[in-house]
Every structure is written in C-alpha cells, then in structure tokens.
Amino acid sequence: MSAPAVGHVAAQPVRSDAPLAQLERTRRALVGVTVVRGLLLGIAAGAGTWTLLRVARVLWLRMGGSEWPASDGAAIGVAVILALVVLAVVLARILPRLTTARVALWVEEQVPGLDYALVTAADPRAGAAERLAPRLGRVPWQELVRTASRRRLLGPAVAAIAALGVAFLLPASERAVHAARASDATTSPSIAQPTRPTSGPLAEIRAVVVPPAYSGLPRQTLDDPTTVAALVGSTVSLSGRAPDSGAVRAAFGDRSLDVLRADARWTTTLRMPAAAGLVRLSAPGGERLILLEPRPDSAPVVTLATSVVDTVLREPSGIIALEAEARDDLGLASSRWEWIVTSGDGELFQARTGTLGEALHGGRRAATLSARLDLTALAVKAGDVVHVRATATDRNDVTGPGVGASETRTIRIARPGEYDSLTFEGIAPPPTDSALLSQRMLLLRAERLVARMARIERQELVDSSRSLAADQATLRRRVGRLVYQKLGEDEDAEHAHFPGDGHDHGAEGRIDPDDILARADAATGGGPVVLDFEGDETPVVAINRPLLEAYNHMWDAGRALEIADPRSAIPSMRRALEAIQRAREAERYYLRGQPPRVVVDVAAARLTGKAEGRGSARTPLDPADPAARERARRLDAAAVLARRDPGAAADSLIVLRLEAAADPELAATLDAAARQLREGAPADDELARARRLVLPGGLRRGALDAWRGW
Amino acid sequence: MVSVQSTFVFATAQYQSGDWDSAPLVPANIIDTIAQYTSIPVAPTGVIVPLGSERLLEFPFVFLTGHLPVRFTDEERRMLRRFVERGGFLFVDDHNHDIDGAFHKTAVEEIERTVGPLRPLPNDHALYRAFFVFEDGPPTTSHELNGWGDNLVHEHLLAVTSGGRISVLYSNKDYSSEWNFHPRTKRMLSVDPTRFAVNVIVHALTR
C-alpha cells in the first residue's frame, strides 16, 4: 500500500494529548471499517450462495428434474449461515489486531514522516507524549482513515451489490422454466387437449337422464356434469345454450351425434351404452368431454331356504316343502321352481322336467318363493333322483331379462337293496376322564376304609384295599409318565421300565434318584459330566424331585394296600399328596392361567440406551409397472395443466377416469378432481390422493441408489 | 371392535391343548430387552391372549411355546388363519428342543394344516439383520451346545412365508429355555442371549 499524500503545515501550538486522542479516533474508525467490510463480504457470500443454489435449481429443472431437493427456506438458511460465518471470520481476524500500538505502527507505516514519534508517544512507558506533541502536530494524517476506508470497502461493496442483483434477477428465469415445462405437459399426445370455454354454448351443459321404464327410477337432471352414470339403456340428453354463430358438434367415440337446435338451446340425445365412453362436444369456443358410465342391471339373486341339504328318502312318496328367497336390485318379474327327475340304472337313464310354484311379483325387490313338491304326483320310484332349484327373472326389457337361479337340491329315493349293505367305521372309545382319579380321592377312600375296618369282613377289607392299590398304581404310573416326559423319554417309558404294572421286570420297587439321573443323562444324550443346578443336584432331579418323592410314597402306599393294611398306607398317601402339592408350587409349575406377573421397569431398563444396534439394509421400492408409470405421468401433466387451464385439465382427468374404471376408488377420486376443476376450485387434495392411488408405493427414482444404512 | 395398539405389547398365545405357559419368564425378559436396546414404546408387562379369541387380532406379534402335544381347536385354527392373513407374526418355539418330540411333530402339523408349509429360512434373511447382525443365522442356544433335547444344533429356523413376508417363524432351538430367566439375571451374562428376540420383534413390526 502506497503512502497517502500528506502535506506539511505550519507549526501550531498543539495540546499534549491531541495526538493520542486522534490516534484513538483512528483506531475506532478502523474498527468501524472492519465491521462494515465484514458485513459487505458476508452479504456477498450469502447472496452468492443463494444465487448459486437458484442457478443449480434452474439447471435441474431445465434438465428435466421434477423436484429440487432443497426448499427455498433451506437455501436462504444456508445463505444466511454462510454470511454470518464470513462476518465472524473477518471480525475475528481483524479486530484483535486493532490495538492502539498496532494502529500507531500502521499510521507510522502509512506516514513515514512521523519518524516513529507517534509510536513513541503512544507508548505509556516512554512518557514522551507531551514532548512529542508539537512534532506530531506538524505532520497531519487525518485523511489517512478516509483513504484507507475507500480502498477497503470498495471491492466488498461491489461484490455484494452484484450478488444481490443476480439473486433478484433469477426468479424470472425460473418462472420461465416452469412455464416451459407446463407447456411441454400440455402437448403430451396421450392427453386430450380440448380447451374448455368459459363462456359460450359449452359453458353450461345440462344432462337429463331418463332411465328405462321397467326400472321405475326417476328422471334425473345434472348440471354441468363431468360424468353421467346411468342404467344401461337410459336416454341421456345433453343440452346447452345455442350459439349465435357456428354450430355445436357432438360425437360419441367415432360416431357423430345429431345435434338439434330449439328454443335457443342445442340438444343431443343418445342411449347409455353397455360400455363406458366419452362424448366429445365441440363448438367455436372450444371443446369439452363428458364421460358416460353405464350401470348394469344385476340379475336376481335366489337363495334356497329349505330344504337345506341333499337328502335320501326311504319311500318314493310324501310332500317336500320348498322355500327360497329372491332379491333384485330393481324389481322381480316372476319366479318358479324347476324340477328334473332322472330314472334308470347303468347306461339307461330317462329324464323328465317340469315347473311348479310359478308366481308374478310385479316389481317387488324381494320375495319369498314357496312350493310343495309332491313325490307321489311326480310318480318317482325307488332309485330315482329328483333335482330341484328355484329361478327368478327381473323386468329388464332392454338388455335382459336377467335370470337368477338357486343352487340345485338333490333328493334321491333309496333302492331296497341298499338296506342290507350298511357299513360303519369303528372308532376308538372315548378316553376315560382320568382327572377324576386323584391322590386326594384315594386318600379319602382309604380313610373311609380304615373307619369301616372294624365292621366289615376280612375278605371285603382285602378286596377293597386291593382295589385301592390298583387305583394307586394307576395314579403312580401317571406320575411316572409325567416324570419321564420331563426327562425326554416317551410316555410309555414308565410302563416299560417301572414296577407295578403287572409285568415281570425283575427287581421292582422305589425309584433311586441316582438311577433317574443316569436315565436322564441317557435320555438327553449327555455324558457323564453332571451340571450343577441347585447345590449338587442335576437339573433333572431338581425339577422332578417333588414328583419323584410322590412316586416313591405312592409305591409305599400301594404296597401296604396290596397286603390289606390301609392304616399303614395312609401316611404314605398323605406324603404323596403333599409332594404333589409341592410339585405344583415348584418354580416350573404354575396353575393354568396364572403365570407369574413380572412388571418390567421400562424406564430403568432404558437408562442403558442403545448398545450395539445397527441399521438394517433397506431394499429400494419396486419399480412401478409401465402402465402405472404412464398413468402417473399423465396425472402429473394434468396437475401442471390445472394451473393454467383447469377445464383442459378436467378433460384430461376424465380421460384417465375412463381408463380407470377397474379401480373404483381411483375413478371416484379422478371424478372428484375433475368436478373441482370444473367448478374453479382447487383440486390439490384430490390430485394428491389420485397420485397415491396410481402409484401406491411411490415412484422409485432411477437416479437414487439403494440405501445401505449408515 | 378391534382396537389399535400404539404400544408394543408382548402377547403369549394361550391354546387349549398342551402347556402354553411353560416359559413364564420369557415375556418379561423380552420386554426388558426391547426396552434396553430399542426405543420402541413397549408395555411393561405382557399379556396372555387365547389363540381362539378375537383379541388375537389386536397384537401384531404373538409368541407360542410348549412341551406337550399341540392340537388346536377349530376356533383356534380359524383365528390363527385370520391372524396371519391380517399380517400377524407368530413366533413358535419348541420348548423341548427335540425334532422327534411331541411338541414339534404336532405343532408343525397344526401350523402346516392351518397356515401353510414350513420351509427353512435362509440364514442371510433380513430377519438376521433387522437390528443386531447375526452373520451365521439364528444364534445357538446353550441347550443345543450342551446336547439336550435332540442333540442337534439346528442350522435354520423354519418359516411360513407369504409374498416374501414371514407369517409364522418356527424354532427348534429352545429359545424358551434360553430366555426363561428373570431380566435381572442378564447382568450376570457376558453375552445377552435375548438380543435375537429384538431382531424377531423389530422384523415383525417393520415388515
């Protein structure tokens, strides 16, 4: 930086503190310049950033992108943050340097004529301010700050102004891109592009629907419809104000329709076809589409009430009551019962048909069909088969009549020879409810027997006691099965390995826990290594100990009962009962329906937070099928078109709706959107809903790779 | 009227045959695990839901275990079918750890008759990465390693899938025994064996 031009002036009396005061003013001025410079640089950086983002957005839109990932708010936020960062950097770099001593040095650098007098005067340790004041007064440097300010601020100011200017000019360019895209959308060849007149013969159209006479439905008038839904065969009249000049033309598909003019109105009439189609109306002012949506007349529904099932009769005589319910959406005309009798055997069959119970219903929507099938009158004989069904017709004289029939019921007359060949399949007898037998019940019976012992004969005592012993053995085997089930063997293990079942197994008697342990290890495939579970017990013994005790006590009780000594058996039976109770109360046994209720302290558990969780790999959306993509594209184009020409957009939606007849929900949504646009109301919600229906899973963007987690 | 649960509730299926309550501490343990590792809103206690009741449809995830032979009633079959048709996830664990055992044979038969065929679930299935990563598929249990039950280490879990979605997950690994301890015991373990339950539940709730 070159030194500014500094002139010399004549010596004047100078106050001793004047140079230092001026130095302080210079310092403050430099602080101010620094702040302003920081602000200008910040503005330039912020505006430049915002401008770059907008330029990128314009380029994105020009390249065909549909939606810029960053919103305006986000872009402004980024710009502001960058501006603040630049300001902070500038201030942080410069302000700490602007001390009095360094400012004095800077002034000395700019004005060499001071010969370090200012630095010396500014140093309080030198104490030379008063002495050097006259000398400093001779070298003016007041212009120094102004010159430096201009140089420091000019560049940042130009940059800030330029960035702001570009930023304000960009939106116009962006709007032009949007307009161009909208124009592109309207030129899509797959979308009908009639323009909707806001006035003229097509502005206010009225549709009058006259349903077929048989339906009994009332005449219907629709003002300005987008869709006309009516019964097939209905007369549909479309009318509007007749133009002063030119003519209205109408066509349904490829077929031209006659347009009549009367009473200052034009009218065209056609019958509701069986398939949906578009009526295209055109006039000098534009064109308009109206969708004709046929509603078919359903055939009657007939349901048999009686007889409920097919049946076989022993005798070819008697009267069978028949009843059925018939319903129709518009009205029933008549009903009857049809019967077929087939006779014969082998390859020789004859069939007779007939009807009965004919009835007229006069347009009622529901009716009960009743008849009596007289087998004697039908002259059926053994081996014949009678088929019966109810039928009903509706009053449709346009596309019908519709005929509905019930399912066919079959009534067979048995042959005499069938009675000597009845068979049945043997089934297993129902299992005895073994729950009736319990240790408590046996104990009560033993106690009663002991109480009667003095009054009964010896033989009766022996018989009763042995009966109890047999029941005790049965119960013991059940406990043994339970133990063995827990040990992993099959239910018959106890029978195969345990005494008391009447088989000769050699040394029969009480169960040894060590033996059980060995069996458990063998059953579970374990080796000789014993797992500690509770003290020095194995899990098997620990779990089953109460049941094993019960088993052994039962064995003792049974042995006493076998020798007709019920008094000695009772203590063992009580101990067995007590052991069973303990088994029920043991850790692994809970009464059915009453498991332990543990309430987890979720908050306490959550203090540990997430430990080693990892995001799972996500798979991208399946690509939409080409037809759905095409519908979505046309729907998008219609949505864009709706901003500029709601009428044309409504027509496009009606074309889409015609093709979406298989999807009633989408059809109704498109219809609602078209109606909204016709009425000049926003249809954003309906269009968004239609978009979701067209592509339920969203559209997979080809540019995005599958997300693979963090 | 079926209500919508906004909080995950661990539901244990109660069926009329067998011993549905053979692993009574599993629900509390898994609830504690879900609370520890995830931010899923979870009810502090589980519920027992009869398999044959309409209440079954209130829960997206249902756990079923037992040792004894399983025979569903007609109503239980009907409700289970409705449950999986509506997107429910049934996790069945063989508490016997025995492919020759009564539970396995009867439960598999019932599931296949009611829902559909059980097939081996590939060990690279998304289930094994739904939260924690189990590179080798289903984690082994100490009961498998100690040679209990059928003395096998089962390589795969079985599943009934429909349209790529698991509707029934079946295990022979005896997680019922592995997880049947009080949550407070977890602090004694070097590796928490219930982490796999997080994957099962997160997968059930997010797919």
Contact A600 B183 (CB under 8 A): yes
Q: What is the mean pLDDT of chain A?
A: 74
Does residue A586 carry a pLDDT above 60?
no
Q: Which of A470-484, B9-23, B118-132 has the lowest mean pLDDT?
A: A470-484
What number is the average pLDDT over the span A551-573? 91
The secondary structure of A275-318, three-state, reads CCEEEEEEECCEEEEEEEEEECCCCCEEEEEECCCCEEECCCCC
As given in the structure block, the two tokens for residue A280 are: 């295209």
- Enumerate the β-bridge partners of residue B89: B61
Inter-chain contact B131–A616, Cβ cutoff 8 Å?
yes
pLDDT of residue A160: 86
A431 part of contact set with chain B, CB < 8 Å: no
* Per-residue pLDDT at A619: 54
- Is the pLDDT higher at A407 or at B53? B53
> Average pLDDT, stretch A637-651?
86
Reply yes or no on whether the pLDDT at A620 is more than 70.
no
**Do A476 and A470 touch, CB atoms closer than 8 A?**
no
Helix (DSSP H) and strand (DSSP E) numbers for chain A: 18, 19
What is the pLDDT at residue A679? 82
Write the DSSP assignment of A160-191 as a string of letters.
HHHHHHHHHHHHHHHHHHHHHHHHHHHT-TTS
How does pLDDT run across A105-155, given as a tens digit for each residue? 888 887 777 777 888 887 777 777 777 777 777 777 777 778 888 888 888
Per the CB < 8 A criterion, the answer to whether A402 and A332 are in contact is no
Residue A171 pLDDT > 90: no
- B148, A525: Cβ pair inside 8 Å? yes
pLDDT at res. A477: 83
Write down the pLDDT at residue A423. 39
Partners of B131 on chain A (C-beta within 8 Å) are 613-614, 616
Taking only the tens place, the pLDDT of each residue in A239-249 is 887 766 557 88
State how far residue B188 is from chain A, nearest Cα, in angstroms.
15
pLDDT in tens, B37-66: 999 999 999 999 999 999 999 999 999 999
Q: Which residue has the higher pLDDT, A42 or A487?
A: A42
CA A323 to each of CA A192, A313, A316, A335, A653: distance values in angstroms, whole numbers, following the listed order? 55, 19, 21, 12, 50
| B28 contacts A592? CB cut-off 8 A | no
Q: Model ipTM?
A: 0.76
How distant is the Cα of B132 from the closest Cα of chain A, in angstroms? 6
Tokens read off for A562:
């076998």
Looking at residue A688, its amino acid is A
Interface contact A602-B31, CB threshold 8 A = yes
- Averaged pLDDT, A60-69: 61
Q: Verify whether the Cβ–Cβ distance B32 to A610 is below 8 Å.
A: no
Among B37, B129, B183, the residue with its CB nearest the CB of A616 is B129
Whether the Cβ atoms of residue A302 and residue A326 lie closer than 8 Å to each other: yes
Lowest mean pLDDT of A155-159, A194-198, A544-548, name the range. A194-198
Q: Which of A27-36, A118-127, A186-195, B47-56 has the lowest mean pLDDT?
A: A186-195
Taking CA atoms, B58 is separated from B41, B62, B201, in Å, by: 16, 10, 16
Please tell me the least confidently modeled range out of A89-103, A503-517, B113-127: A503-517
pLDDT of A504 reads 38
pLDDT tens digits for range A436-451: 347 777 888 898 899 9
Higher pLDDT, A300 or A438: A300
Comparing B195 with A376, which gets the higher pLDDT? B195
The pLDDT of residue A520 is above 60: no
Asked if A595 has any chain B CB less than 8 Å from its own CB, the reply is yes
Residue A510, pLDDT score: 53
pLDDT of residue A527: 40
Residue B18 has pLDDT above 60, yes or no: yes
Record the tokens describing residue B139, joined without a space: 């984690």
Highest mean pLDDT pick, A30-34, A482-486, A511-515, B129-133: B129-133
Q: For the residues B147-160, what does the mean pLDDT come to?
A: 83
Q: What is the pTM of this model?
A: 0.35
pLDDT > 90: percent of chain A: 5
A175 pLDDT above the threshold of 60: no
Residues whose CB falls within 8 Å of the CB of residue A342, separated by 6 or more in sequence, listed in order = A349, A350, A351, A384, A385, A387
Question: DSSP 3-state assignment of A412?
Answer: strand
Is some CB atom of chain B closer than 8 A to the CB atom of A600? yes
A590 vs B21: CB contact, 8 Å cut-off? yes
pLDDT score of B92: 97
Q: Which residue from A minimizes the CA distance to B149?
A: A524
Comparison of pLDDT for A506 and B49, the residue scoring more: B49
Give the CA-trace dihedral at A10, A14, A19, A21, to 10 degrees: -130
Name the CA radius of gyration of chain A, rounded.
52
Name the residue among B171, B167, B168, B143 with its Cα closest to residue B155. B171
Chain B residue with CA closest to A487: the answer is B149
Closest CB from B45, B133, B198 relative to A597: B45
Find the residue in B nearest to A608 (Cα): B36
A592, B182: Cβ pair inside 8 Å?
A: no
- Among B12, B21, B126, the residue with its CB nearest the CB of A592 is B21
* Residue B44 distance to chain A (closest CA, Å): 5
How much is the pLDDT for A64? 55
**Cβ-contact A9, A139 below 8 angstroms:** no
- Contacts B182 to A, Cβ<8 Å: 598
